[in-house]
Amino acid sequence: MRYQIFIFFILLSCSSESVDDFQQTAPTYKNVNYVTITNESTGGGSQFFYLKSGFSISNADSCYCDSECSKEVIEVAELQFDDQSMNFRFKLTISDNFTTKSTNDWCTKYN
C-alpha cells in the first residue's frame, strides 16, 4: 500500500501543470508624448518619429542614424506604449480607432 501511495504522488506531481505558464499578461498601455523607432542599415536606414500633437521633435530622443537615413514625422492625436510587449498604438485623430505597431527589431525610444 505504501508503495502505491508513493507512485500515486509521483504521477500526480509529474502531470500537474502550472496555469501561470500559459497565461499571457494583458497589455498595459501608458500614455506617452513620443515613440521613435530606428532601423539603421548600411548606406541608410529609416527613422520614424511618432509625436503627440503639440510635442516638439527637438524634445524627442532617438537612436543614432546616419545622414543617409530617411526620417518621417507622424503627428498623432493619441499615443500609448506597452513596455512589456514593446508595442505602441496611436490615433491620427481622436475619432479614429487605435492602430497598433510592434517595435521588435527596431531601436526604440519613448517617453
Calculate the CA 51 to chain-centre distance.
16
Is this model's pTM higher than 0.85 or not?
no
User: Can you give the pLDDT at residue 5?
Assistant: 53
Please report which helix (H) or strand (E) contains residue 13, including its range.
Answer: helix 2-15
Which residue bears the cell 537612436?
A: 63
- Measured CA angle at 85 (ends 34, 36), to 5 deg: 25
User: Can you give the pLDDT at residue 52?
Assistant: 98
Q: Are the C-beta atoms of 52 and 78 separated by less than 8 Å? A: yes
Assign 68 a pLDDT band (cuts: 50, 70, 90).
confident
75-93 pLDDT, tens per residue?
A: 999 999 999 999 999 999 9
15-65 pLDDT, tens per residue?
A: 545 555 556 677 899 999 999 999 987 678 899 999 999 999 999 999 998
